């Protein structure tokens, strides 16, 4: 019987430099994710000034030195956590809105999902912070462009899927949606408005977004903040990004 071959350390997966590099990158991504998770929760509860690096490290079961290794400063971690949160809520809103069959439904799904969380408020704090820390602005800029780009992709997909007709350029609709979301959030928190009030205000300001076809005729659907307003076209409410 031929002797069994013996693998050397260099031939085993654990001895493969590429495998080791992949494992290191994977461990790094997991640690970054844990730090962002812990930081996001604490920053929302206590704010930037009320949260220390040691608090974040303890929440993530990490060392303070790992925070400075991956993010350099607490402020950079704050901005990255806020950017990640708003992208997560944008993705969740798009997934929810996929179930919509009218422009009104689509818009309301987006607005209700976005205003139901504190992600946009968290992101607005990051926007304010970058005024004093311009070195952190590039991450915010990339995040805003992703919000616009992915919103445009989702909205365009819905238009094509259902045969809707957008009342304005789809790119302008996407950019307008997020500009209003940020503006309504800032104003709402300053005025002490509830989540429901901010949702209604955003729906009101968005106005008409698209038309849909009923029995071969293009019927304009109205987007209103008042849920009790009469709607002869559909029992559902119009949504559009």
The pLDDT of residue 213? 61
Chain segment 13-67, per-residue pLDDT in tens? 456 665 556 666 777 789 999 999 999 999 999 999 999 999 999 999 999 999 9
Cα torsion for 230, 233, 237, 240, to the nearest 10°?
-130
pTM of the complete model beyond 0.85: no
The band of 210, judged by pLDDT with boundaries at 50, 70 and 90, is: confident
149-207 tens-digit pLDDT: 999 999 999 999 999 999 889 999 999 999 999 999 999 999 999 999 999 999 999 98
Domains, the chain, in order of start with CATH, read: 19-71 (1.10.10.60), 80-241 (1.10.357.10)
Tell me the pLDDT tens digit for each residue of 125-150.
999 999 999 999 999 999 999 999 99
């Amino acid at each position: 019987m031929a002797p069994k071959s013996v693998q050397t350390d260099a031939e085993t997966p654990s001895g493969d430099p590429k495998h080791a590099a992949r494992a290191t990158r994977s461990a790094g991504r997991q640690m970054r994710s844990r730090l962002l998770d812990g930081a996001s929760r604490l920053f929302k509860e206590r704010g930037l000034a009320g949260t220390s690096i040691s608090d974040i490290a303890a929440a993530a079961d990490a060392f303070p030195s790992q925070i400075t290794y991956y993010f350099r400063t607490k402020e950079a971690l704050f901005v990255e956590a806020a950017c990640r949160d708003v992208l997560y809520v944008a993705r969740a809103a798009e997934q929810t809105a996929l179930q919509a069959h009218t422009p009104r439904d689509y818009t309301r799904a987006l607005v209700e999902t976005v205003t139901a969380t504190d992600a946009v408020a968290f992101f607005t704090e990051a926007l304010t912070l970058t005024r004093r820390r311009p070195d952190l602005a590039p991450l915010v800029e990339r995040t805003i462009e992703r919000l616009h780009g992915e919103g445009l992709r989702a909205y365009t997909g819905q238009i094509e899927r259902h045969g809707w007709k957008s009342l304005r350029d789809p790119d302008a609709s996407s950019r307008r949606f997020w500009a209003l979301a940020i503006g309504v959030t800032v104003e709402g928190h300053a005025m002490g408005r509830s989540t429901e009030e901010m949702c209604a205000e955003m729906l009101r300001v968005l106005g008409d977004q698209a038309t849909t076809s009923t029995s071969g005729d293009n019927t304009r659907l109205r987007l209103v903040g008042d849920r009790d307003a009469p709607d002869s076209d559909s029992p559902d409410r119009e949504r559009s990004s």
